[in-house]
Amino acid sequence: MTQNIRFALPQSEIPTHWYNILSDLPEPMAPPLHPGTKQPVSLADMTAIFPENLVMQEMSTERWIEIPDPVREVYALWRPTPLLRAVRLERALQTPAHIYYKYEGVNPVGSHKPNTAVAQAYYNKIAGVKRLATETGAGQWGSSLAMACQMFGLECQVYMVRVSYNQKPYRKLLMQTWGATVFPSPSDQTEFGRKVLAEDPECPGSLGMAISEAIEDTVKTPHTKYALGSVLNHVCLHQTVIGQEAIKQMALAGEYPDVVIGCAGGGSNFAGIGFPFVRNNLVDKRTTRIVAVEPASCASLTQGELRYDFGDTAMTTPLMMMYTLGHDFMPPKIHAGGLRYHGMAPAVSHLRKLGLIDAVACPQTKVFESGILFARTEGIIPAPEPAHAIAVAIDEAIKARETGEKKVILFNLCGHGMLDLPSYDAFLAGNLTD
């Protein structure tokens, strides 16, 4: 009889509602401000780039928001995702800790991003939108939106951060196979892109720049709206299916986590695994430590400032109260493209300010070492982004070995690294530094 290490749920256990953390905050969040008037943004401001149904969701404080059937039907293609206990990693670390991971890489894109892409495509579709414009860093978000648009019959235009466009040709091909149009950003498609290129033709791009291009495209093209893959409340909201499923699966395993870990770039995957556990801390008086892990080279939560800042480089988005390195911060070319963002989701920032979550920064070589140890024990080659979470899970497991504590650790393996192999190659060849 082999040990139970895989905790599967049937399709009927896909959550019926998303969990909205805004409903449980001990102190309300500061509102986003209009960049010109510095007054709280109005519905009209927001609907210039988003459909009204998503703007209402962005501002909602309803606790449970029902997941529409057409969205759950697409979720059923891969959800509920598995939760596994990493017994091989535990053995390699000789730790008394139990390490669990929720694996979001089983869908066609290979990451958690489709959870919100599908929802956003659906809401845009029923709002009568014909075309979505977006930006993408590592390509996970762009390919998720490309697939989601294909499923709901929308056109999709993606501005992909140039350094990732060049480093990750497969991600671009993935988007094209799902029928999207993809340009490297900064591009010659927008006024902003042309201006940046005129100043620096070799500019590697950043998420902030690509957002500016996608927003410019949106306001200038008929029947087009903008879609964002992280940061905003409604995006964090859609990801909460992850944590809700994980809570049920941990119960199947007969345990409850002492520590929950997620990597954080814009914050959506961290929100997905973390927010439902934050709720359990607040409501059920649980005492789980909930940790966001960011790259040392782009560490908004641990090295940034909590203040109003723009979401993009061209200063066109509303001002958001968040931990930020500054909207003109140019992150170094680290390989975890999905974590190269100057700010942090306002909801995640707010929880950090209230002391409800913890944050740690991790250097790149430690991240890849952890990713390789995981691949060689558990099989799955993690994307560099969740390898940040793995690094901290391993730290926790080693601490438990030293103290003898039977700690229960859960992290979100938000995607696999099949299309990130050149980064592993560079690491194995000794070409990566911190």
Binding residue (CB under 8 A) for its own copies from 25, 106, 127, 306: 106
Q: Which of the stretches 2-10, 184-192, 227-235, 241-249 binds its own copies when contact is defined by CB under 8 A?
A: 2-10
Distance between CA atoms of residues 309 and 190, nearest Å: 23
373 touching its own copies, by CB under 8 A = no
Check if the beta carbon of residue 138 is closer than 8 Å to that of residue 420: yes
422 touching its own copies, by CB under 8 A = yes
Q: How far is the CB of 142 from its own copies (least distance, A)?
A: 14
Q: Which is nearer to its own copies, 107 or 324 (CB)?
A: 107
Residue 90: name the closest of 382, 383, 390, 403 by CA. Answer: 390
Taking CB under 8 A as the criterion, which residues in 376-415 touch its own copies?
376-381
Q: How many residues does the chain have?
A: 434
10 touching its own copies, by CB under 8 A = yes
Rg over CA atoms, the chain: 20
107 touching its own copies, by CB under 8 A = yes
Q: Where are the beta strands (DSSP E) in 90-143?
A: 98-103, 131-136
Distance between CA atoms of residues 187 and 190, nearest Å: 7
Binding residue (CB under 8 A) for its own copies from 59, 77, 127, 330: 77
Alpha carbon dihedral 375, 381, 382, 387, in 10-degree steps, equals 40
Q: Which is nearer to its own copies, 77 or 282 (CB)?
A: 77
Distance between CA atoms of residues 244 and 273, nearest Å: 8
User: Which tokens go with 369?
Assistant: 């070492």
287 touching its own copies, by CB under 8 A = no
26 touching its own copies, by CB under 8 A = no
Total residues binding its own copies (CB under 8 A): 51
Q: Which is nearer to its own copies, 167 or 280 (CB)?
A: 167
User: Residue 285 region, left (φ>0) first, then alpha (ψ -120 to 50), else beta?
Assistant: left
User: Which tokens go with 313?
Assistant: 């480089």
Binding residue (CB under 8 A) for its own copies from 15, 51, 110, 304: 110
Q: Which is nearer to its own copies, 70 or 326 (CB)?
A: 70
Taking CB under 8 A as the criterion, which residues in 153-182 touch its own copies?
170, 173-174, 176-179
Q: What angle do CA 104, 106, 109 make, to 5 degrees?
A: 90
Q: Which is nearer to its own copies, 16 or 37 (CB)?
A: 16
Distance between CA atoms of residues 211 and 228, nearest Å: 8
Q: Which is nearer to its own copies, 81 or 317 (CB)?
A: 81
Check if the beta carbon of residue 430 is closer than 8 Å to that of residue 122: no
Distance between CA atoms of residues 96 and 407, nearest Å: 7
Binding residue (CB under 8 A) for its own copies from 29, 55, 84, 322: 84
| Residues within the interface to its own copies (CB under 8 A) | 1-6, 8-12, 69, 72-74, 76-78, 84, 88, 106-110, 147, 150-151, 170, 173-174, 176-179, 372, 375-381, 416, 418-419, 421-422, 424-425, 428
